[in-house]
Structure 1
């Protein structure tokens, strides 16, 4: 298995986008390919351990690491849309192709973004401060440290980084 990087997924998404208006079925087929590349980036094998046979997209989805199982439903939806797009008579509409795009967008956020975790940490810091966050309280919330010396050291390091940029 060749390792895939988010850039490789983006390239595949670019190919899909090029045919959105002219061929929504091909768009969904390409989105499916991009979703398989996301599996590659997560280290999900393409081939069976035993006989080296190529695993189906479904079997690869089933092999997602436990911490990524929430993404199964997203991968499955893209698999179904890609299947219909890849076969003659699939008849994918532009609206259905847009749905594939929206699902892929959520999948990419789920896999490659820390946004949800960072916002959850921010909410915890605000709740702990019982109001607007203070940098020191945010450091405590994020690091889990309660050693005042270590907290102050981290706060000073963060301040130096911010002021020297």
Structure 2
């Protein structure tokens, strides 16, 4: 194997490894209701959750599921009326969506992809009504970072691989 072939193989390997390293695993933060006790008459609730700081500075989407009942005849457990992310200045609202085929006694709320500003504390606010229940109601959901930001070491590896590829190309051009 010649020096040129070895250099090209090493450069290609470094580029491939840097591409894998640069694609970091997205961050996911799960949420679930707490202290929603059974009620005899409709009762309003409001809960808030501080968003993981690692999600700030990236593009995020989210969803919430409210479970109203296991059977439509049992009555509604939880009815979400509002869900949004806020940092005190900006507000991103979730939209109620019920996918085709999902039972009508469950709710789904989705957050379209938004860019959360870095350096801010973001909070998820969920409000709604607990209705006639024999047991505690609940809702759950998650926020997911859509495109993870690569770590500085991954970027350095990517730049090193690109530099090595450039050096190989320059050397090949100088030999001709």
Instruction: Please indicate the TM-score interval, normalised by the length of the shorter structure.
Output: under 0.3
**What's the TM-score, normalizing by structure 2?**
0.22
**What's the TM-score, normalizing by structure 1?**
0.24
Structure having the larger proportion of residues in helix? 1
Larger Rg: 2
Q: Say which structure, 1 or 2, has more relative contact order (CA 8 Å, 6+ apart).
A: 2
